[in-house]
Amino acid sequence: MFPLRRCLSALLLALAALPLLHAQQEMVRRHRPMPKAGGYLILKADLHMHTVFSDGQVWPVTRVMEAWREDLDAISITDHDDYRPNEKDVSMDLSRPYEIARPIAEGLGILIVPGVEITKGDIHFNALFIKDHNAFRGKELITALTEARKQGAFSFWNHPGWKGRAQWWPVIATAYSDKLFQGIELLNGPVYYEEARQWIGQHGLTVMGNSDIHNASLPDEPRTMNLIFARERSVEGLREALHAGRTVAWDGGRRLIGKQEWLETLARACLAAPREVRFTPGFWYNGLPLVNESALAFELKPAEAPSWMQVQPVTVAPRSTTILQIRLNRDAPKSPGRVAIRLQVSNTTVTETGGPLVLPFEFELHP
């Protein structure tokens, strides 16, 4: 017989593994529809994740199956170049995660981008679209980023404030002046690095949002990702869109962060409203029906409306039609006319201002 202590330890380990087994076995796809926007496809991409080939807890195939389950269009496995706690148990060849995952991803219709996390002390960069995963090991930061540029990489600064408030440190300034990176990860998992927002517009950088996932992903767990406005569904389409800065960071729940142009393009594509609306004065049940066929939620608050009109705040849930309730006061016009209102999308952050997106709506009012 086994000692009681050993039996209890084995039982606890088995119980701890149950959520991971569930994550492996629960292969029901969670559809997250996205419309076309401004003539572009919106591709859902997580371009920062880890496996056992650095400090992650799962095999590369698991990352692909999670991506399929969570309805991602594109992924990149970006294991650390110089942080390899599992090196006694797995290959030192950093191309292996990509090679293992690629055939599974392609079979499931998921785009997979070769990538690596350039890890030099507390400053980390992801380099995507690389050709040699192992060329960065043992190099100092600027040399490694220079190598990434030679390989045609798109590079971005990861989690800039993870060890304290982010600053535009001299090494970052040097890397930027040498054109060695093109984006900043403002959203890393649920964490928003607000202090880095100003550098997006100031230096013409691309907004990035990723999960940086290390453990197993559980069903229905929020997944931070990039919404990428691509001309085509391909790795080259992703590359072109990232270099052009056509992205919005999404935390998988309510928060959206991006440049004014792309947040507005996204919201316009997701929210449809009628051009004519009939109202009965004095009733809150009147309103503007807003159709949202996307996986995103939009929290709307009145920013500007005629003095004779009251507008109620509303959350337009994913894949729903929601009434924006409007009430007309006694002094409202009695004849039909064109009305303009402006609504604040309070769950968005515009990188240029730090405030929420404000959307105008116009419709023909028939009292």
Q: What is the pLDDT of residues 301-332, one digit of tens each?
A: 999 999 999 999 999 999 999 999 998 888 88
Q: Are 173 and 137 in contact (CB under 8 A)?
A: no
**Nearest partner of 205 among 247, 160, 245, 251, judged by Cα:** 245
Token match 């990538």: residue?
115
Half-sphere exposure of 174 (CA within 13 A, CB side): 8
C-alpha distances out from residue 85 to 49, 53, 80, 208, Å = 16, 8, 10, 27
Q: Compute the mean pLDDT over every residue in the chain, rounded to the nearest whole number.
A: 92
Residue 73: which of 43, 40, 47 has the closest Cα?
Answer: 43
pLDDT in tens, 224-242: 999 999 999 999 999 999 9
Which pTM does this prediction carry? Answer: 0.91
Ordered by where they begin, the domains of the chain are 28-258 (3.20.20.140), 271-366 (2.60.40.10)
Cα(189)–Cα(191) distance, rounded to whole angstroms? 6
pLDDT-derived band at 366 (thresholds 50, 70, 90) equals confident
Provide the sign of the torsion angle of the four alpha carbons 78, 190, 61, 47, taken in this order. negative
Q: Using CA atoms, how far apart are residues 342 and 178, in angstroms rounded to an integer?
A: 42
Per-residue pLDDT at 218: 84
Task: For residues 6-11, give the mean pLDDT.
Answer: 42
Return the DSSP state at 213.
Answer: B
